Amino acid sequence: MSDETSTGLREEVRARYAEAARAVLEPRPGVTAQFVEISATGSCCGGTAGDSCCGAGSAAAEAVGGFSENLYREGETDGLPEEAVLASLGCGNPLAVADLHEGERVLDLGSGGGIDVLLSARRVGPSGFAYGVDMTDDMLALARQNAAKAGATNVEFVQGQIEDLPLPDASVDVVISNCVINLSTEKPAVLAEMFRVLVPGGRIGISDVVAEDHLTAADRAAAGSYVGCIAGALSRAEYLDGLAAAGFADASVTFTTEAAPGLHSAIIRAVKPATA
Ligand SMILES: C[S@@+](CC[C@H](N)C(=O)[O-])C[C@H]1O[C@@H](n2cnc3c(N)ncnc32)[C@H](O)[C@@H]1O
């Protein structure tokens, strides 16, 4: 992909999520964050808990369902600010994947309105910490407002790109992400940055859209848009190869829900070896 195409796609993604954030920050009747995603390009990456959204609007996805059905367990989001739940645009539940423990430091790539950072902060408790990184200013404003409403003191939302993380080397125990890596136009850089910021022995627990290996890039582009989380999806083999190239061990990609033919919500796990 040329630099120009990459920059153009990134700005399209940023504009779309800025608008989705504003739909929650400045509510208008009938306009939800998910509606903004769908109306912009005919598909979207997520929906509110229990809602179905990602890929809806693309013929392929409508044939099967969405990427975002019942992401969170019953009661899991109780007590969070309503705006954090309304802005949920993921395609899985990375917390369930990451198995967080008291005292751990967690980083969420593409933290959006903050739902997974706030849930992580609860899980790791006052001795732990949860960071969110997002490139979209309106999403950061929404996430910080949600953190203040939640009274969360062990969280920080940082402006930045997931391809060039604004965190020091070996500074977190766990990296999570929910339906964001498919949106990156420089995925090897994202995988390398995850590896860099993790402590030795650290792990990733990621939800993302992943394609079956037989789908070519052209097939994926025909199935849906880039900003709708479909055209930029890696295949399972591409994910595993990319994680190995970045240095990760014990990598796995497990399909959970087929949301469009050959395109799945998936759980991605891997560890940074404890010794080099
Ligand atoms: C599909 S939404 C998911 C938000 C959140 N993870 C959730 O589950 O609700 C994608 C988010 O990733 C952010 N994002 C997309 N590409 C990014 C990049 N290259 N660097 C940083 N943030 C990015 C967008 O601004 C948006 O907030």
Give 187-214 pLDDT, tens digit per residue.
Answer: 999 999 999 999 999 999 999 999 999 9
> Which atom of ligand 1 is least distant from the CA of 108?
6
CA distances in angstroms from 275 to 126, 199, 245, listed in the order given = 29, 10, 16
Fill in the amino acid letter for 96.
Answer: A
Ligand 1 mean position to 47 CA, how many Å? 13
Please state, in angstroms and rounded to a whole number, the distance separating the CA atoms of residues 124 and 126: 7
CB 34 within 8 A of CB 220: no
Q: What CA–CA distance (Å, rounded) separates 160 from 158?
A: 6
Identify which of 191, 276, 184 has the alpha carbon closest to the alpha carbon of residue 227.
184
Q: Which residues touch 183 (CB under 8 Å, ≥6 apart)?
A: 13, 45, 110, 226, 227, 229, 232
d(CA 88, ligand 1 centre) in Å: 11
What residue owns the CA closest to ligand 1's atom 5? 112
Ligand 1 centroid to residue 111 C-alpha, Å:
6
Could you list the beta-strand ranges (E) of 69-211: 105-109, 129-134, 155-159, 172-178, 198-211
Structure tokens at 47: 């929906």
Instruction: Note the pLDDT of residue 32.
Output: 64
Token output for 272: 């940074």
Residue 246 Cα to ligand 1 middle (Å): 21
Classify 45 as helix, strand or coil: coil
For the chain, the C-alpha Rg in angstroms (whole number) is 17
Which residue, judged by its Cα, is nearest atom 20 of ligand 1? 161
Query: If you take atom 25 of ligand 1, which residue's CA is the nearest one?
Result: 136
Amino acid at 42: G
Beta bridge partners of 178: 207
- CA dist list (Å): 20 to 74, 109, 112, 121, 252: 25, 17, 10, 24, 31
Residue given tokens 């009274």 in the structure block: 151
**pLDDT classification of 71: cutoffs 50, 70, 90:** confident
Alpha-carbon 8 to chain mean position: 20
Percent of the chain past pLDDT 90, that is, above it, reads 72
Q: What is the pLDDT of residues 15-58, one digit of tens each?
A: 999 999 999 998 877 666 665 655 554 555 654 333 334 433 44
**Could you tell me which of 250, 259, 248 has the C-alpha nearest to residue 182?**
259
State how far the Cα of 15 lies from the Cα of 41, in Å rounded to an integer. Answer: 12
- The answer to whether the predicted template modeling score (pTM) of the entire model surpasses 0.85 is yes
Gap from CA of 90 to ligand 1 centroid (Å): 9
Residues contacting ligand 1 via CB (< 6 Å): 13, 17, 45-46, 88-90, 110-113, 115-116, 134-136, 139, 161-163, 178-180, 183-184
Average pLDDT over residues 159-169: 98
Choose between 270 and 259: higher pLDDT: 270
Residue whose structure tokens are 């645009």: 89
Nearest-angstrom CA–CA distance, 96 and 70:
13
At residue 227, the pLDDT reads 85
